[in-house]
Structure 1
Amino acid sequence: MPVLVAGSIATDHLMHFPGKFSEQLLADQLHKVSLSFLVDELVVRRGGVAPNICYGMAQLGGAPVLIGAVGQDFDEYRNWLTHHGVNCDFVYVSPKHHTARFVCTTDEEMNQIGSFYAGAMGEANRISIADAWKAADADLAVISAYDPAAMVQHSAECREHGFRFAADPSQQIARMSGEQMRGLIEGADLLFTNDYEKSLLESKTGLAEADIRAMVNVQVTTLGSKGVEITGREVERVHVPVAKERAKHDPTGVGDAFRAGFLTAREWGLSWERAAQVGSLLATMVLETVGTQEYSVEKDAFSARLAESYGDDCAAEVLPHLV
């Protein structure tokens, strides 16, 4: 079934700093920090939360529908996504703003400092989730990070129409108020955060962990190198370790890839554990590349890596669903 994925659509400018940020930051001088990092590498990649998730879902044979706002400079990116199986029919094109830009520097320890220019994303509140849902005959709407007002609006629209939705606020938790956060997550079928974002969400909303869990059906918390934890009203706690990696090149987009794999596996009807395993392997594949859409899923190789990380039973259960 088609899945609507709303979120930022951007171009990533990714740089590498051959050192450690921690050695350049003075704890007692942070109130007047003024630094310039001389980088030794720059790559320009397609990015944005929503296209990253859509790309991963399409690689696994899913039916993602991209929702977001772009500038008139989006044509080349649109062609790329369409070629790779992403439905871009419902992307709003701004007549006056450029597509968003993400500029990020990564150090030797995989720490990152980034800036995000919203551009056309500021017009996302002109998008109707209901119109896209009905036209695409969707099964789920994923509301990922982009314009905060649009995120809250999308959630309200889903509740109004009885649409099943997932809340994925990620980096926008830092921007959104507690009231906006409550408006976003209330009634969500799924809530995605990492462990830091989970704590920040609780702090900004003033809600305890149990209170948030009562507002959503299932909470999925990624734990970095410690894997992922899944809890819910009727879900026994599930913990899945990270998939075995072959290299570490760039962590940008790892969380997006996890969501893509997780959501696609759930659409296949697989268990929470299997879904987290598929998502974790897709995330590892992104970690092994520079850029968020520079990997490809090949059926036999993907199955073999699942077996390597999670056993033959996992691979055998997932294999029939791979394109």
Structure 2
Amino acid sequence: MRAAATERRNPSVPPWRYVSCSTRTLSFLADRLDVRRGGVAANIAFGLGLLGLDPVMVGAAGLDFAEYGAWLRANGVDTRAVRVSETLHTARFVCTTDQDQNQIATFYAGAMAEAPRIDLAEIAERAGGLRLVLVGADDPEAMLRHTATAHRLGIPVAADPSQQLARLDREQTRRLVDRATWLFTNEYEAALLLERTGWSEEELLGRVGTWITTRGADGVTLTRAGADRLAVPAVPTERIADPTGAGDAFRSGFLAGLAWQWPPQQAARFGCALATTVLESVGTQEYKLLPSDLAARIARTYGDDAARSVEPRLADV
């Protein structure tokens, strides 16, 4: 539908007073509605919970969080640090997809606007200390505040700015990644990160510990200053059901490996196996963790020795 409004020209009125405007309305009839759980913090914490760890999820949710919170707690996630808004709904991503996979999407930030009110120092004290703080995509002010607090408390930081890179200016981006023990990006974000910081790759590596870049079907690379780049192949699959959440699952597996004091290569292999498991299921938290399946995936891709090295931990999953 198109509507136009015009004003009759009066020679005595300056030309900039005349307005011509139009509006367009699109309406879709959807054949199916799928509502799925998500959010990077929840996805990563969910994976860690399934692996038997005790992740503390930090973020702001809305007055509709009760059911989701119960689901996360049932799967091993500590949600006591989640700030629940009294007026706003939880952030959500709404996407309309046609038969050719073209998409129109809307992101509603909602309760995320209250995230800067969260005090990470109080959470760390209540939890009896934190071994690592992953700062993922959130309200930019909250991301900066949590990063600064973690550094002040001497807690290692994993910087994972991901979707928020496009919103951050140079100073904000530098503050988020500088001194990070671990830095996560995908290939596109890696290029954008260098552009945003204004640093060369060498300069950036001089300011972080290890830079992990996920590369889809090409696997993962781990890069450190003064060391050779380490490439870890992806765990292959012939059945991709839904790519959403695979990167979050990789982070769950990788961070679990670090918590178990595995070498980074071993942790990355485990992360790749978990990512492929998620690729083969629809949704970010609908997958099932089967220790025998994970071990078999690792054995096929990285060899029997690699599988045997993870089996003691998988026995407890």
Match for residue 198 of structure 1? 190
Alignment partners' CA distance in 2, 1:244 and 1:300 = 17
- Give 3-state SS (helix, strand or coil) of 1:142's partner: strand
**Relative contact order, CA 8 A, sep 6+: which one is greater?**
1
Instruction: Specify which of 48, 60, 82 is matched with residue 39 of structure 2.
Output: 48
Return the offset for 1:254: 1.1
Alignment partners' CA distance in 1, 2:243 and 2:147 = 28
Which residue identity does 2:42 align to in structure 1?
P
Alignment partners' CA distance in 2, 1:58 and 1:167 = 20
Structure 1: 5+ residue stretches without partners? 1-32
Match for residue 93 of structure 1? 84
For 1:212-251, what aligned pairs fall within 5 Å after superposition?
212-233=204-225, 235-251=227-243
Alignment partners' CA distance in 2, 1:243 and 1:107 = 30
Instruction: Specify which of 276, 285, 289 is matched with residue 268 of structure 2.
Output: 276
Identity rate, percent: 49
Match for residue 303 of structure 2? 311
* 1:210 maps to 2:167: no
Alignment partners' CA distance in 2, 1:38 and 1:276 = 43
* 1:167 maps to 2:159: yes
Deviates more, 1:113-122 or 1:202-211: 113-122
Which residue identity does 1:47 align to in structure 2?
G
Return the offset for 1:244: 1.8
Alignment partners' CA distance in 2, 1:110 and 1:312 = 39
Give the number of the structure whose residues are more often strand, by fraction: 1
Structure 2: 5+ residue stretches without partners? 1-23
Alignment partners' CA distance in 2, 1:234 and 1:264 = 26
Match for residue 73 of structure 2? 82
For 1:141-160, what aligned pairs fall within 5 Å after superposition?
141-160=133-152
Question: Which string of whole-angstrom CA distances, capped at 9 and with x for unpartnered residues, describes residues 162-221 of structure 1?
Answer: 111100001110111111111111111101000110101111221111111111111001
Return the offset for 1:234: 6.0
Instruction: Specify which of 99, 105, 123 is matched with residue 114 of structure 1.
Output: 105
Alignment partners' CA distance in 1, 2:81 and 2:281 = 29
Deviates more, 1:203-212 or 1:77-86: 203-212
Deviates more, 1:34-43 or 1:127-136: 34-43
* 1:288 maps to 2:259: no
Match for residue 57 of structure 2? 66
The 3 A distance-change label for structure 1 pair 120 and 307 is same
The 3 A distance-change label for structure 1 pair 185 and 270 is same
1:110–1:251 contact (8 Å) kept in structure 2: no
Which residue identity does 2:49 align to in structure 1?
A
* 1:130 maps to 2:121: yes
Alignment partners' CA distance in 2, 1:84 and 1:154 = 25
Alignment partners' CA distance in 2, 1:171 and 1:52 = 15
Alignment partners' CA distance in 2, 1:275 and 1:35 = 47
Question: Which string of whole-angstrom CA distances, capped at 9 and with x for unpartnered residues, describes residues 120-177 of structure 1?
Answer: 0011001111111222221000000010111011111111121111000011101111
Which residue identity does 1:78 align to in structure 2?
G
- Give 3-state SS (helix, strand or coil) of 2:276's partner: helix
Question: Which string of whole-angstrom CA distances, capped at 9 and with x for unpartnered residues, describes residues 263-322 of structure 1?
Answer: 111111111111111111111111111110001212222212221222111110011112
- TM-score (ref. length: structure 1): 0.85
